[in-house]
A = this chain, B = another copy of it.
Amino acid sequence: MREEKRSLRQQQIEAAAYEVLEAKGYGGTSMQGIAKQARASNETLYNWYGDKQGLFRALVTRNAEEVRSHLEAELQTDHDALSILGSLGPKLLNLLTGDRAVALNRAAAADSSGELGATLSRAGREAVFPLLEQVLLRARQEGHLRFEESGAAVGLYLDLLIGDQQIRRVIGRLPAPTDEFCEARSKRAVTHLRQLLGSQPYGDGHK
Contacts and interface: CB of A to CB of B under 8 A. Distances in A.
A159 interface: yes
A108 B191 CA distance: 34
Given A160-B159, A163-B158, A201-B202, A109 B106 contact: yes
Contacts of A110: 25-27, 106, 109-110
A147 B89 CA distance: 24
Interface string A107-129: 01111101011101100010000
A173 B204 contact: no
B27 A112 contact: yes
Interface string A177-207: 0000000000000011001100001111111
Looking at chain A's contact residues, the main secondary structure is: helix
A164 B202 CA distance: 26
Name the residue among A108, A163, A191, A196 with the largest chain B CB count within 10 angstroms. Answer: A163
A37 to B, nearest CB: 16
Contact of A173 (B117, B192, B196): B117
A167 interface: yes
Contacts of A172: 108, 114, 117-118
Given A25-B112, A112-B27, A164-B159, A196 B192 contact: yes
Q: Which 8 A-B pairs have the closest CB atoms?
A: A25-B112, A159-B163, A117-B171, A117-B172, A109-B109, A110-B110, A114-B172, A121-B173
